[in-house]
Amino acid sequence: MRSVGTLTRADLAESINRRVGLSRADSLEMVESILDEMCDALEKGENVKISGFGTFLLRDKTERIGRNPKTGVEVPITPRRVLTFRASQMLKDRICTEE
């Protein structure tokens, strides 16, 4: 069922189907709807916070000078908007347990 190392939309829908009891089609529609809402919010410039999971943050980067590591030639890097993710402390605690 689950791809090794990757959680897919289908995996999420299957989990909703098993846990909540929605049909496979309704479960997939719910996953798509949530992802669409997240994308729409990010497109509008809003950050997306999922309590207990983390926050998707938009950051505007200014123009800067970069360097080609192979040739050493300086090149301008254009300003752009980037998407970052900050995991919540709860998520960090779940995945970063000390052994």
For 93, phi then psi, to 5°, come to: -60, -35
Q: What is the pLDDT of residue 5?
A: 85
Rounded distance, CA 24 to CA 45, Å? 32
Q: How confident is the model at residue 96 (pLDDT cuts 50, 70, 90)?
A: confident
Assign 2 a pLDDT band (cuts: 50, 70, 90): low
pLDDT digits (tens, 9 = 90+) for 22-54: 999 999 999 999 999 999 999 999 999 999 999
Q: Select from 2.30.40.10, 3.40.50.2000, 4.10.520.10, 2.40.420.20 the CATH code of 47-99.
A: 4.10.520.10
DSSP assigned state of 39: H
Average pLDDT rounded to a whole number, residues 13-29: 94
Residue in 13, 15, 48 with CA at minimum distance from that of residue 31: 13
Q: Where are the beta strands (DSSP E) in 2-95?
A: 48-50, 54-61, 64-67, 74-77, 80-87
Domain 1-46, classified CATH 4.10.520.10, yes or no: yes
* pLDDT above 90: residue 93: yes
Sketch the domain layout of the chain as residue ranges. 1-46, 47-99
Cα–Cα distances in angstroms (integers) from residue 68 to residues 72, 73, 91, in the given order: 5, 5, 36
**In which band, very low, low, confident or very high, does the pLDDT at 4 lie, cut at 50, 70 and 90?**
low
